[in-house]
Amino acid sequence: MHMYRIPPDTRVDLSDWDPRDRSRFDGGKKASKAVLEMLNGRLRNLQELLYAEGKHKLLIVLQATDTGGKDGVIRHVFRGVNPQGVKVANFKVPTPKELAHDYLWRIHQHTPGSGEIAIFNRSHYEDVLVVRVHELVPQDVWERRFDHINAFERMLADEGTTILKFYLHISKEEQRERLQSRLDTPEKQWKFNVGDLKDRALWDDFMAAYEDMLSKTSTPWAPWYVVPADRKWYRNLVIGTTLVETLTNLDMAYPDPEDNLDEIEIV
């Protein structure tokens, strides 16, 4: 899925990226279910191999506007994986304890260990997005954080972590429809947050912030992928395929068994 990968030092204009693109799979929503099921099976096997080998680490970063589909990706793409080897970290408003440290302190403790997959539902990128748009820190503060983040991710990569970052790209109209659906559906109303409307009013400011994020922090060691996300099924196929390809390329193997196992008889 390299067509969605942002090359380093590329200036991103999100208006050039179609959130309804489906060019890599023309089978449609109905046919996508079988493909996703196949990807789920391969991902389960690869995750078990990753855990058994205990050498590699995989960090997955999900960023999106409100209703962008981060929870849906976790629910559908990772269906059936062993929770012993996969952990999800959600980064909401920092606690007083977290605010007493540098902004990356709360992030680092959730990075994956050997044999693990860690999924960040939002991430350290909130500190160049929300804090920028809502003017929570001065410009000179959030601007220098791009270099901090690149260095932080480079350190993780140098220590053996494979990093994949997905920006779930939806249109403003698609967000409107999803927010309206939450408002109109009793079973979804618990998801509706009036504060989301305030962020929606700042749509252009957030798009500018996302464009800077993608342009300045897509690196060889931690690339960004702009995932067309208006179609949920296509979003899941793009991410599932990228994960399977990445894990396959790690060329993992199960550990060698202990010696003389063929001589053991269990009675």
What does the alpha-carbon distance between residue 130 and residue 200 come to, in Å, rounded to a whole number? 12
Selection from 103, 136, 85, 117 nearest residue 244 by Cα: 117
3 state DSSP class of 90: strand
Q: Which helix (H) or strand (E) holds 119?
A: strand 117-121
Kindly report the average pLDDT of the chain as a whole number. 95
- The pLDDT of residue 256 is 83
What does the alpha-carbon distance between residue 221 and residue 155 come to, in Å, rounded to a whole number? 10
Evaluated on CA atoms 256, 258, 259, 264, the torsion sign reads negative
If you count them, how many residues does the chain have? 267
What does the alpha-carbon distance between residue 231 and residue 233 come to, in Å, rounded to a whole number? 6
Beta bridge partners of 59: 118, 163
**How far from each other are the two terminal CA atoms of the chain, in whole angstroms?**
51
* Tokens 């995989």 found at: 58
Residue 161 tokens, joined: 């972590």
What does the alpha-carbon distance between residue 170 and residue 90 come to, in Å, rounded to a whole number? 20
Q: Which helix (H) or strand (E) holds 75?
A: helix 70-77
Beta bridge partners of 120: 61, 89
* Tokens 């994986």 found at: 81
Beta bridge partners of 226: 167
Selection from 81, 232, 212, 51 nearest residue 146 by Cα: 212
- The pLDDT of residue 260 is 76
* Tokens 């698609």 found at: 174
C-alpha triplet 30, 246, 116: angle, nearest 5°: 105
What's the predicted TM-score (pTM) here?
A: 0.95
- The pLDDT of residue 265 is 82
Residue-wise pLDDT for 43-93, tens only, equals 999 999 999 999 999 999 999 999 999 999 999 999 989 888 999 999 988
Sorted by where each starts, the structural domains of the chain and their CATH numbers stand as 2-172+206-252 (3.40.50.300)
- The pLDDT of residue 207 is 98
Low-confidence ranges of the chain (pLDDT < 70): 1
